[in-house]
Amino acid sequence: MESSRLLFGAMLAAVAVAGTQQPTVTRVTARQVLEIGGDTVGTPMLNRVVTALRTREGYLIGDESILVVDAAGKEQRRIGRKGRGPGEFMHVSWIGECAGDSLVVLDGAERRFSVFTGSGEFVRHFPAPQATALARCTLQGTLGILPFPRTGNPPNPNVKAPPDSVAIELLNMKGDMVGRTRSVPFGSNQLFAPVASITMHGASLFVGTGATSAVDEYTLTGKFVRTIPVSLPVVRTSRAQQERAVDLILDGMGLTGDRRAQARTQFLAQPIPNERAPYSTFHASPDGTLWFLTSGLGDTTTVVQGISRDGKRQTIVSLPRTIERFLAAGNDYVIVGYEVGTAEPRVGVFSTVAPRGSSRPAR
């Protein structure tokens, strides 16, 4: 009897140890392997960059049209052009590879999706259900749409508005709705406040509000599956960080002189939370790793953190520069957007391959 109790106790202890096993953490200082943009011969001049992805042949970049560049960053051709007709865009907000080799492009200004073949031939377009903040898709051909709240509260230095709620809508490649999630907080209009983000992989939609270190998993019909805890650092905010963040916002707005000074005073008068949101956006790489942007506006180093779906592996990647956008993540790379000189847009590709011996169990 006593030996049975001892054996049972040992088994419980083994289960407890296994259940609390810490993930293996790898720390990487990313190495930039490519910069796209500029005035080098063969390199495209970029007007603005809000979306980009890597393909088998190179990269697709959303500018005034869809820019196709090779693996060396040289321009090959463009898909579409500026305009309101079929296959044209007023504002390229997102590009996705969906349903095999089909390309789907969101025109945020026209509130419509355009579908192209992998070679760039226009197929059809269909309207977005409403103004879209983010769009993602799966290779099975399901689109996930994070809409702007219908009562939208744009950032305003003088107004503190309550968070809005939205439901993520799921569409097929013809624009028919196939599902919808429960309502989730969209976010607040204040600096450093959490804002919702989505990504997709396989047969799952992932939704994060940034309010907690967790993401919710849904089916492609909008049925809630589970909440996935993710271990992300808590970062306290500071006045210096607030000032740097405000300056970046004002740079993007193009304000100068007295107007800039007045707007800066108004933004800096906003109260800021003691702690900022644990992440602002995230992407899924082809192997299913979820990559979170954990640094924020005003940080001089960019940090993205990858967490495997089973929680057993974490990769913390530092990029030695400030960025404007976290555009995409792969199994061994991240793509970001930033500006150089007098607000000249660039797309940067960074390797996230860790040197040998850099992995260790978390403490």
Task: Determine the pLDDT at residue 40.
Answer: 65
- Residue-number span of the structural domain to which 247 is assigned: 238-271
175 and 248 housed in the same domain: no
75 and 197 housed in the same domain: yes
With cut-offs at 50, 70 and 90, classify the pLDDT of residue 1.
very low
Q: Is residue 1 part of a domain?
A: no
Q: Is residue 256 part of a domain?
A: yes
Q: Is residue 219 part of a domain?
A: yes
Torsion of CA 351, 356, 358, 359, to 10 degrees: 100
Q: Is residue 100 part of a domain?
A: yes
Cα separation, 78 vs 68, whole angstroms: 6
Position 325 pLDDT exceeds 60: yes
Nearest to 305 by CA among 287, 327, 329, 286: 329
70 and 111 housed in the same domain: yes
Task: Determine the pLDDT at residue 59.
Answer: 96
Nearest to 332 by CA among 31, 50, 101: 31
Average pLDDT value for residue range 193-210: 91
39 and 143 housed in the same domain: yes
Nearest to 51 by CA among 359, 258, 327: 327
Residue pair 181/168 in contact (Cβ under 8 Å)? The answer is: yes
Both tokens of 82, joined, read 């500026």
pLDDT tens readout for residues 234-275: 777 778 777 877 876 776 666 788 888 888 888 888 777 777
Q: Is residue 266 part of a domain?
A: yes
pLDDT tens readout for residues 127-150: 998 899 999 999 999 999 999 887
Cα separation, 341 vs 199, whole angstroms: 32
Concatenated DSSP letters for 38-93?
SSSTTPPP-S--SEEEE-SSEEEEESSSEEEEETTS-EEEEESEESSSTTEES-EE
Q: Is residue 186 part of a domain?
A: yes
For residue 131, what is the DSSP state? -
Domain boundary, last residue among 250, 271, 292? 271
pLDDT tens readout for residues 53-80: 999 889 999 988 899 999 999 999 999 9
Residue pair 30/335 in contact (Cβ under 8 Å)? The answer is: no
251 and 349 housed in the same domain: no
Both tokens of 349, joined, read 């590709």
CATH code where residue 341 lies: 2.120.10.30
233 and 305 housed in the same domain: yes
Q: Is residue 10 part of a domain?
A: no
User: Which residues 6+ apart lie within 8 Å of 113 measured at CB?
Assistant: 104, 105, 106, 107, 125, 126, 127, 128, 135, 143, 175
Position 103 pLDDT exceeds 50: yes
Cα separation, 301 vs 307, whole angstroms: 20
In total, how many domains does the chain have?
2
24-29/313-319 β-pairing: parallel
246 and 204 housed in the same domain: no
Cα separation, 160 vs 242, whole angstroms: 17
Query: Checking phi first, is residue 147 left (phi over 0); if not, alpha (psi -120 to 50) or beta?
Result: beta
Q: Is residue 63 part of a domain?
A: yes
Nearest to 269 by CA among 190, 324, 211: 190
137 and 173 housed in the same domain: yes
Average pLDDT value for residue range 307-327: 88
Cα separation, 224 vs 219, whole angstroms: 7
